[in-house]
Structure 1
Amino acid sequence: MREIFTGLPWWVKWIAVPVIALVVFGGLIASVVGFVVALLFKLLIFVALVGGLIYVVRKFMSSSSSRGDW
């Protein structure tokens, strides 16, 4: 692979090739990044809902047990 780029200007290796790769694979990269962001968002929602459920259940259980003490 190095033989291919030997003798070419620096901007071909560091600017032109990455730009071409982004143009060719840009849709795929955007899809993967979008999927990961959506997955992380859904995971965050899941954790928040489970945490809220645990909080409500513990709050309800503690208040109902204190009522039973009367």
Structure 2
Amino acid sequence: MREIFAGMPWWVKWIAVPVIAIVVFGGLIASVVGFVVWLLFKVLIFVVLVGGIVFLVRKFMSSSSSRGDW
């Protein structure tokens, strides 16, 4: 790979090639990033819902047991 870019100017390696890669693979990169963000959002929603259920059950169980002490 180094032999290919050996005689090229610096801007070909550091500007032209990355721009071409983004143009060619930009849709794929955007799809992967979008999927990861969607997956993290779903995991966050799951954690919030499970945490809420655990909190409500613990609160209900502690309040019902304290009423039983009367």
| TM-score (structure 2 length as normaliser) | 0.98
Aligned-CA RMSD value: 0.4
How many pairs are equivalent?
70
- Superposed CA deviations along residues 2-26 of structure 1, whole A, max 9, x for unmatched, are 1100110000000000000000000
- Stretches of structure 2 that go unaligned for 5 or more consecutive residues are none
Cα distance in 1 for partners of 2:24, 2:7 equals 25
Alignment correspondent of 1:50: 50
Cα distance in 2 for partners of 1:18, 1:38 equals 26
Alignment correspondent of 1:11: 11
Alignment correspondent of 2:38: 38
Cα distance in 1 for partners of 2:15, 2:53 equals 51
Identity fraction in percent: 86
- Structure 1: 4+ residue segments shifted above 3 A: none
